[in-house]
Amino acid sequence: MAIKKVFVVGAGLMGGGITQISATAGYQVTMRDIAQEPLDKAMKEIERSLGKFASKGKITEEQAKQAIKNITTTTEMSAAADADLVVEAVFEKIELKQDVFKQLDEVCKPECILASNTSAISITSIASVTKHPENVVGTHFFSPVPMMQLCEVIRGLQTSDETVAAVLDFAKAIGKETVVVQKDVAGFIANRVGLAMSCVAIKLVEAGVATPEDIDKTMKLGFGHRMGPLETSDMTGIDILMNAMKAIYNETQDERYAPPEIMQRMVAAGLLGRKTGKGWYDYSTGEQVAYWKL
């Protein structure tokens, strides 16, 4: 099925980014949130970001204007009735996502593809509340969406080949590289691999083996990573990371994902990383400086 109309549910960080790149690629996009305020905020951010792309010559002024024209905002779920593809990007709560998918199942065309941008929730469990689980798929974009190249496409237990093929085409059309996660496992590929490494790195700091700087330096200079695992966890947020580890651990009982105790203490102390000014590093001066002593 050719995708022409896209409906994005959730106008936060991810929903706004997905709306922006879809509209820039020429799709008609309707972005839905529960109130006008987040929609207005998202539109402001999209305009700012498109302006930046235009000033760098990555798109023309005309393309930036057209992208804005391609976006409509709404607080009504019923506006999804003529969508060919819905991308859901609401808060990471299974009850909320299932509620959204139940509503979409009522209002959307039977052939409409329903995609979730979930980082960790099983696509199969989201699909289970719909009448067409074969049309439900994961599209895991990365933040910031306009900059990050990857989209993980996740196959739920009943997702059809046609649905996977259609979202792969869509992701390509909006300028993303894709990987297919053939089985609906907790953490998909990116978090399954990335969080295991973060967990080991944090356990090494906890055990007094090396400082965060030396672990990050090792991975950057020894393995060519752009950022070290501790820097990355400060950027993600220690609380977000810990919850993501717990989600994989709860499903798999795999000790490699058991969050180290030190993370619980950091969360209790408000050392959440960049967003609170301190985590594995201190950002209070605006620079990233060493903070942990062994």
Ligand X SMILES: NC(=O)c1ccc[n+]([C@@H]2O[C@H](COP(=O)([O-])OP(=O)(O)OC[C@H]3O[C@@H](n4cnc5c(N)ncnc54)[C@H](O)[C@@H]3O)[C@@H](O)[C@H]2O)c1
Stretch that binds ligand X, among 11-19, 21-29, 106-114, 267-275 (CB under 6 A): 11-19
Token code pair at residue 182: 């053939």
Site string for ligand X, 67-106 (x = CB under 6 A): ----------------------xxxx---x---x------
**Residue 143 is a catalytic residue:** no
Nearest residue (CB) to ligand X, 171 versus 204: 171
Verify binding: residue 9, ligand X, rule CB under 6 A. yes
CB atoms closer than 10 angstroms to residue 222: 8
Nearest residue (CB) to ligand X, 47 versus 92: 92
What is the distance in angstroms between the CA of the first residue and the CA of the last residue of the chain? 58
Residues whose CB falls within 8 Å of the CB of residue 123, separated by 6 or more in sequence, listed in order: 116, 136, 137, 138, 154, 155, 156, 159, 184
CB of 18 to ligand X, least distance (A): 9
CB atoms closer than 10 angstroms to residue 289: 11
SS3 content of the chain, % helix, strand, coil (to 5): 50, 15, 35
Number of residues that bind ligand X (CB under 6 A): 23
| Annotated active-site residue in 152, 198, 213, 231 | 152
**Residue 55 is a catalytic residue:** no
Nearest residue (CB) to ligand X, 84 versus 88: 88
Stretch that binds ligand X, among 6-14, 58-66, 126-134, 245-253 (CB under 6 A): 6-14
Site string for ligand X, 104-143 (x = CB under 6 A): -------------xxx--------------------x-xx
Nearest residue (CB) to ligand X, 173 versus 190: 190
Residue 67 burial class via C-beta count within 10 angstroms: exposed 0-12, middle 13-18, buried 19 and up:
buried
Verify binding: residue 273, ligand X, rule CB under 6 A. no
Nearest residue (CB) to ligand X, 133 versus 138: 138
HSE-CB of 292 using CA atoms within 13 angstroms = 26
Verify binding: residue 223, ligand X, rule CB under 6 A. no
**Residue 119 is a catalytic residue:** yes
- Long-range contacts of residues 141-146, Cβ cutoff 8 Å, at least 24 apart: 141/14, 141/17, 141/18, 141/117, 141/176, 142/190, 143/13, 143/14, 143/17, 144/13, 144/17, 145/14, 145/16, 145/17, 145/18, 145/20, 145/21, 146/17, 146/20, 146/21, 146/49, 146/53
Q: Out of 6, 8, 11, 46, name the contact with ligand X by CB under 6 A.
A: 11
Q: Out of 21, 31, 33, 230, name the contact with ligand X by CB under 6 A.
A: 33
**Residue 152 is a catalytic residue:** yes
Token code pair at residue 197: 């490494």
Residues whose CB falls within 8 Å of the CB of residue 59, separated by 6 or more in sequence, listed in order: 24, 50, 53, 67
* Residues between 235 and 264 that touch ligand X (CB under 6 A): none
The residue at minimum Cβ distance from ligand X is 12
Residues that bind ligand X (CB under 6 A): 9-15, 32-34, 38, 89-92, 96, 100, 117-119, 140, 142-143
Q: Which residues are catalytic?
A: 119, 140, 152, 191
